[in-house]
Amino acid sequence: MLKYLTVPVTPFAQNCSIAWCDKTLQAAVIDPGGDLEKIETAIQQLGLNLEQIWLTHAHIDHAGGTAELAKRHSLPITGPHPGDQFWIDGLAQQSQMFGFPQAEAFTPTRWLKDGDTVQVGECVLDVRHTPGHTPGHVVFHSPQAKRAFVGDVLFAGGIGRTDFPGGSHPELISSITERLWPMGDDTVFIPGHGLESTFGRERRTNPFVGGT
């Protein structure tokens, strides 16, 4: 079964998740935006073998530590979707703009597209392409664990910003209603910032997508 621990990183309190297979103790880090020592310490304390990096999208608070972490542990980088290439290319500039430690661009070992799967240990997660916040945003869904790692697509009581280059409000709404809602009302999602919630609760109460 899939287990996970969320570690808030960077001044933006981005929810980096360590996801692992409790049978094999193989782990993937989702969105290592920074504060790598904090992530590495948590992995060590849990007694896990870190084997992969998975990315939802290439904003600095989600992807800023990727190149360095991959280098330190010789890890393959999976995701995001090729639509975020320009955000990866701009990581150094993003880090300067937001006063982050110098971030480096990288080349994903494997780009993702809608319908792909990723695997850690014996746990398989479905990949959905969810553009709108960024063009190449993806989410990771474990139907077995009823969990979804949704980056900056949907928050408890909110939705992702769409005023960045390549953002699109209508696309974001479609991503949420057509690709997240079908995962089921009882699915718990881990957003890129803030508290967890369920898709059912957001469908009922979220002021931006409630009643959809």
Binding site for Zn ion (CB under 5 A): 59, 61, 152, 192
For Zn ion, the closer CB: 133 or 141 = 133
CB of 160 to Zn ion, least distance (A): 6
CB of 18 to Zn ion, least distance (A): 17
Quick check: bond before 80 cis, omega within 30? yes
Q: E-assigned strands of 72-157?
A: 77-78, 117-120, 123-129, 138-142, 147-151, 154-155
For Zn ion, the closer CB: 73 or 193 = 193
Could you give the C-alpha distances from 170 to 76, 87, 133, 175, 209, in angstroms and in order? Answer: 33, 21, 10, 9, 11
For Zn ion, the closer CB: 9 or 18 = 9
CB of 123 to Zn ion, least distance (A): 24
CB of 61 to Zn ion, least distance (A): 5
For Zn ion, the closer CB: 152 or 202 = 152
For Zn ion, the closer CB: 48 or 139 = 139
Partner residues linked to 20 by β-bridges: 3, 27
**What letters, b where the CB count within 10 A reaches 16 and e where it falls short, cover 101-138?**
eebebbebeebbeeebebebbebebbbbbbbbbbbbbb
CB of 12 to Zn ion, least distance (A): 6
For Zn ion, the closer CB: 61 or 202 = 61
CB of 30 to Zn ion, least distance (A): 12
Torsion of Cα atoms, 87 then 193 then 77 then 199, to 10°? -110
